Amino acid sequence: MDFKNELVKKSTLINRELEKYIKNDECPEKVLNQSMEYSLMAGGKRIRPVLILASYELFKDDFEKVLPFAIAMEMIHTFSLIHDDLPGIDNDDYRRGKLTNHKKFNEATAILAGDNLLNYAYNLIINDIINNGEDKDKKLQALKELSFGVDRMIAGEYVDTEFEGKEISSQYLEYMHENKTGALIKASVRIGAIMAGASQTDIEMLTFYADRIGLAFQVKDDILSEIGDSKELGKPVGNDRERGKCTYTTKYGLEKAQEMLKSITEEAISAVSEFNNSDFLKELALYIANRNK
């Protein structure tokens, strides 16, 4: 398997599918829809929806069945980024090298675009459940995972805002990331596995994998925020330290953070080693650890 090739294939599929859900009819709220499209199509890595597909494909081939969940997940991730960037939270002007939603449009639009993306995600899944009668119970279970993931993501985000600029215990730092970044990643692999009818043991194994790559993702983010290339990242570097933000690098130092990243990634890889066809998930763990943006 050529990992890069497969990743591009999957994320291209997600992008093409996302476009089908873009509303571009003439209506009084046209600009709101444009702002949702702007952030949805701002070049995200599509890690979460890719994880839904990859987790499903460990067990089954007909990945079309999980596409609505993949799309919903990316909408929810985008909603969380738009709100995270708001002046009332992180007050960021750029993301992925582009103006943030509230800078490109305005604050009211960004608040409502985020709200609407979260709602749209639910709306499309509900319509899928109603219109495609089969697998209703599996879909409801997967939807429950999605909803729980969002709840935890918001909790993590809240803890992040509450402790900005304050000393934070390693217990709280972990709780924050486990939820803020980890919850949707965990929900993604669980949704894929649940939809594929995986056994409870397999779901738990994949959950552990997700837990590890979620943490790896955050540690790597913190490392890049400190020593990454601001051009590649599309956002300024060194902001976290200036803001007194508590991250893995500001708390443990760069060297220790890099060691952590390495061992966490190894744990993730070993968790999925028992599955056939787990090459993609293994490579994905390495990709997260080695990325430059």
Q: What's the closest the beta carbon of residue 212 comes to a second copy, in angstroms? A: 21
Q: What's the closest the beta carbon of residue 8 comes to a second copy, in angstroms? A: 32
Q: What's the closest the beta carbon of residue 32 comes to a second copy, in angstroms? A: 4
Q: Which is nearer to a second copy, 172 or 287 (CB)?
A: 172
Q: Which is nearer to a second copy, 8 or 108 (CB)?
A: 108
Q: Which is nearer to a second copy, 7 or 82 (CB)?
A: 82
Q: What's the closest the beta carbon of residue 172 comes to a second copy, in angstroms? A: 6
Taking CA 170 as the corner, what is the angle to CA 164 and CA 175, rounded to the nearest 5 degrees? 75
Give yes or no for a contact between 188 and 49, defined as CB atoms under 8 angstroms apart.
yes
Q: Which is nearer to a second copy, 99 or 126 (CB)?
A: 126
Taken in order 127, 128, 129, 130, is the CA torsion positive or negative? positive
Q: What's the closest the beta carbon of residue 158 comes to a second copy, in angstroms? A: 4
Here the tokens at position 102 are: 């509230």
Here the tokens at position 260 are: 């952590």
Q: Convert the chain into a string of H (helix), E (strand) and C (coil).
A: CCHHHHHHHHHHHHHHHHHHCCCCCCCCCHHHHHHHHHHHCCCCCCHHHHHHHHHHHCCCCCHHHHHHHHHHHHHHHHHHHHHHHCCCCCCCCEECCEECHHHHCCHHHHHHHHHHHHHHHHHHHHHHHHHCCCCHHHHHHHHHHHHHHHHHHHHHHHHHHHCCCCCCCHHHHHHHHHHHCHHHHHHHHHHHHHHCCCCHHHHHHHHHHHHHHHHHHHHHHHHHHHHCCHHHHCCCCCHHHHCCCCCHHHHHCHHHHHHHHHHHHHHHHHHCCCCCCCHHHHHHHHHHHHCCC
Q: What's the closest the beta carbon of residue 131 comes to a second copy, in angstroms? A: 10
Q: What's the closest the beta carbon of residue 75 comes to a second copy, in angstroms? A: 13
Q: Which is nearer to a second copy, 31 or 237 (CB)?
A: 31
Which residues here bind a second copy, judged by CB under 8 A? 27-29, 31-32, 79, 83, 86-89, 102, 106-112, 114-116, 118-120, 122-123, 126-127, 129-130, 136, 140-141, 143-144, 147-148, 150-151, 154-155, 157-159, 161-162, 172, 175-176
Q: What's the closest the beta carbon of residue 257 comes to a second copy, in angstroms? A: 22
Q: Which is nearer to a second copy, 58 or 118 (CB)?
A: 118
Q: Which is nearer to a second copy, 185 or 261 (CB)?
A: 185
Q: Which is nearer to a second copy, 6 or 85 (CB)?
A: 85
Q: What is the largest CA-CA distance in the chain?
A: 54
